[in-house]
Amino acid sequence: MSAPLTAVSYVSRAVEEFDDARLADLLAQSRRSNHEHDLSGMLLHRRGRFFQVLEGPKDAVDELMTKIRRDSRHDEVRVLLTEQIEERRFNEWTMGYEPIGVTSTPVPEGFRDTFDDLESDDDDASIRAVRELTVWFRARTAAA
């Protein structure tokens, strides 16, 4: 039996402006470190907001989430969903990335300009939005 896997989905607000160079730095650093810690996931960035899914061994996910919560480059970190999962959904990505709005694939309903659905007070709506985005991201990157 392999160790249980955990997936955490959260949203946050960028404190400073993340231009392409900053995002590239963050991704390069994340990919290297995630690979070392057996972590995978995806990161979306749009209009100063982040949406990230992190998955892997529970201890590694918890440890990284502690660092991420303390990272002064963003604030208002709000975990939407913590799940025990049987299988990874982002196997091929130590940290997949999509700048929303640049893609030719339509973004899921309700997710065009903001993270409104994700941040809804209605937990069911948030969970549905996380799932929709996951499916969208995987379809988008599989087609690319």
Ligand X SMILES: Cc1cc2nc3c(=O)[nH]c(=O)nc-3n(C[C@H](O)[C@H](O)[C@H](O)COP(=O)(O)O)c2cc1C
User: Residue numbers of the site for ligand X (CB under 6 A)?
Assistant: 12, 26, 30, 33-34, 43, 50, 52, 64, 67-68, 71, 73-74, 95
Structure tokens given for 101: 């709005």
Nearer residue to ligand X within complex by CB, 1 or 76 = 76
Least distance in Å: CB of 67 to ligand X? 4
The candidate with the shortest Cα–Cα distance to 42, out of 85, 78, 95, is 95
Length of the chain in terms of residues written: 144
Nearer residue to ligand X within complex by CB, 50 or 111 = 50
- Which amino acid belongs to residue 76? E
Least distance in Å: CB of 32 to ligand X? 8
Residue indicated by tokens 């309903």: 109
Contact in structure between 37 and 27 (CB atoms under 8 Å): no
Least distance in Å: CB of 126 to ligand X? 18
